[in-house]
Structure 1
């Protein structure tokens, strides 16, 4: 009976000892988790590396410069203006880094470039440029060109200035300027304080030289200083002003059209050309109203005789007033340009001998051909009076100094008063230059 409990106790001891041995040989759970996480991170890193490598090879990263220039944004604080706009660089070139696929779809609208003027007061500043790319574009700005800009800031000012009409050209004497009415007598000048202070007034330039009756027009006011010089770089409100110019006719003056009085006949074969003009085409006369009302609309000049005229000419004449009580106010002298021409034709002169001039001493010359054809083009009357003996053709051999065969251009001339065009057929002749043999006593005895 005693042996049974002892065996049971022995079995529990061995079981407990076996459990302890088993626990000592099994790794802890924490170590298992750490080992698994470590290998998982290694596998994840390798997979990311493989993905990045594959993506880079198919869509490589590139550094490139945009062809399109990007506008630079300038936003000064309220109450300040940029006064060096004319000298200011308003666009920039941007260098980017991005995948090739992004580069292919990028445009200037995807990039913003600006100069930060926040908190700056009046003065001159050199501001670095900032740039950024739209969030949906996977690109990074590397740099901009230029990298900085110089900005001049000035306080903004506004002042009311008077408006005046400025008549640059008075109306014709036949009308009277009764008055000029403006829709507004003041304009608001806005801009940099230094320029606004220069403005003395705004003027409305008017040219009334062709005005004959009352009219309305819209004119842009021009800001000027005390010396009448234009002030630029400012804004005017309103920018356009309606102007009414009141003009009425005068009863003591009248405008008349003038017409040159051509008399006589041109020589036979000559006619008037389109080159006919005269200035002025109208005159202004004054006199009693009862005389002015009876005048025709057109009056003639003093006569211009065409007899014997064979070319263009200019002559000064005056208008013929039908009443001694009339007085010319403008257009005292009328300059008339008269064009005279004749129908042109061509006349042919055959077998005109070619003369030799300039041949050096000791040389002889033979021509082939010795006669040529001359074509003369000009006014028909000149050609009709032209005779063959007044047509000459020559070759100048002064430049030929050695024996040989040469081609020389013949020169033609015509003894006539008038403009003529001359051509020679053929336009070149052959010239054979030789030496003249010197005579000696022996040759003379043989020849005797």
Structure 2
């Protein structure tokens, strides 16, 4: 038989065998590595490219693209698990200012992968001309320095700022403003102030950039003639109670501003002004009082002329030793006797001397609680109870007591 004719006769059989082999191979592959359709869990950020440097995107673009993919299980666990294997692009090359509907292109560096769906597939893009303009900086001062002080001329690190952004927004900017608050200022000012872009109504303009973002402002603050700051000196009289000590005297405010139409009177002050005397005779506790200032003639105090004074008084601490205090037994179980060795202790106490001076032995008890103990010999620490507050137990001598607990011996009945 002619070989060509033989091949022609057997060709259908060969093709059928090939198709069966391919089908068996596909079945084997899909059985061991099945194709899975999933939502891609890694974030795919939208990358914008090709934007003309003279343009700016003023429409809101999606930050990420979500995808549904089909791929063999092995691809999901290997290549698709890597970062940046899928990228999404928005190409703005060659575009001028205007409105566009543009597609989002995908790049997948893994095979075999089928994109079943992704969202969004296209976006609305608005491009505007990038515009800049220079404006003078307006410095606003909504406040004044402290009473008796005056502000000098401010000095800015730069007098102008550049505003850039979409032409539609930059055209709205009528003022670049910096606000300097000098309320209660008593010393020179050196601050960095944020710049704001405002429209003709004084409202902020969004989506514009200001360069520089901040301006440095310096301003001298000086005291006016006839004014002076002086410290407050609290005068006291009398002695606090015996056994107590004065720990602190403070005033609020610490410094006051005084004024005189004759600057010489103010300049001749010693740097402080006294209060009226505060009587501390036999005081035993903290005091809070208001005292008037002893203002010299021809001088006045700017603001409140009454000073709040706080006086701190504490008892002097000391110690005392009470000797041979009896040890008391508490909650001894029935049918038991107890022997203590020793049965008396010395107790050292500390606290305010006035309280210690009034302390007596009857105010102190030394106890041993035996509610949890039965027959045996124990070394137990006694407990000291005080009927007076503010006293600390420093030590007990001895620190522990030998306690021997024995059953009560009951007499044997005579036969």
Shared fold per TM-score greater than 0.5: yes
Among 59, 83, 86, the alignment partner of 1:111 is 86
Contact 2:104 2:122 in 1 (8 A): no
Residues in 1 aligned to 2:306 and 2:168: alpha-carbon distance in whole angstroms: 52
Residues in 2 aligned to 1:340 and 1:137: alpha-carbon distance in whole angstroms: 85
Shift of 1:285: 2.4
Q: Which residues of 2 match residues 276-355 of structure 1 at below 5 A?
A: 278-287=251-260, 288-307=262-281, 309=283, 312-321=286-295, 323-330=296-303, 332-340=305-313
Match of 1:98 in 2: 71
Contact 1:317 1:334 in 2 (8 A): yes
Relative distance call for 1:45 and 1:163 in structure 2 (3 A) is same
Residues in 2 aligned to 1:36 and 1:119: alpha-carbon distance in whole angstroms: 64
The C-alpha deviation readout for 1:96-125, integer Å capped at 9, x for no partner, is: 332333323424522334678989956xx9
Residues in 2 aligned to 1:261 and 1:317: alpha-carbon distance in whole angstroms: 10
Alignment of 1:212 onto 2:183: no
Contact 1:113 1:129 in 2 (8 A): no
Match of 2:45 in 1: 71
Residues in 2 aligned to 1:95 and 1:342: alpha-carbon distance in whole angstroms: 80
Q: Secondary structure at the match of 2:30?
A: helix
Q: Which residues of 2 match residues 10-409 of structure 1 at below 5 A?
A: 26-27=1-2, 29=4, 31-35=5-9, 38=12, 40-73=14-47, 78-82=55-59, 90-91=63-64, 93-103=66-76, 104-105=78-79, 106-113=81-88, 121=98, 130=104, 132-136=106-110, 138-144=112-118, 155=128, 158-173=132-147, 175-191=149-165, 196=170, 199-208=173-182, 209-210=184-185, 212-213=187-188, 216-225=190-199, 228-248=202-222, 250-268=224-242, 278-287=251-260, 288-307=262-281, 309=283, 312-321=286-295, 323-330=296-303, 332-340=305-313
Q: Which moved more, 1:300-309 or 1:175-184?
A: 300-309
Relative distance call for 1:243 and 1:200 in structure 2 (3 A) is same
TM-score after normalising by structure 2: 0.59
Shift of 1:164: 1.5
Contact 2:102 2:125 in 1 (8 A): no
Shift of 1:221: 0.8
Residues in 1 aligned to 2:135 and 2:170: alpha-carbon distance in whole angstroms: 10
Shift of 1:163: 1.4
Residues in 1 aligned to 2:357 and 2:65: alpha-carbon distance in whole angstroms: 76
Residues in 2 aligned to 1:93 and 1:338: alpha-carbon distance in whole angstroms: 71
TM-score after normalising by structure 1: 0.55
Unpaired segments of 5 or more residues in structure 2? 319-350, 361-386, 392-415
Which has the larger share of helix? 1
Shift of 1:65: 3.4
Residues in 1 aligned to 2:317 and 2:115: alpha-carbon distance in whole angstroms: 76
Shift of 1:289: 4.5
Shift of 1:167: 2.6
Residues in 1 aligned to 2:245 and 2:303: alpha-carbon distance in whole angstroms: 32
Q: Secondary structure at the match of 1:285?
A: strand
Contact 1:256 1:298 in 2 (8 A): yes
Residues in 2 aligned to 1:135 and 1:35: alpha-carbon distance in whole angstroms: 45
Relative distance call for 1:320 and 1:120 in structure 2 (3 A) is same
Contact 2:242 2:282 in 1 (8 A): no
Residues in 2 aligned to 1:259 and 1:219: alpha-carbon distance in whole angstroms: 39
Contact 2:243 2:315 in 1 (8 A): yes
- Higher Rg of the two aligned structures: 1
Q: Which moved more, 1:94-103 or 1:333-342?
A: 333-342
Shift of 1:60: 3.2
Shift of 1:283: 1.9
Unpaired segments of 5 or more residues in structure 1? 1-25, 346-377, 388-413, 421-448
Match of 1:403 in 2: none
Q: Which residues of 2 match residues 408-419 of structure 1 at below 5 A?
A: none
Root-mean-square deviation (CA), in Å?
5.3
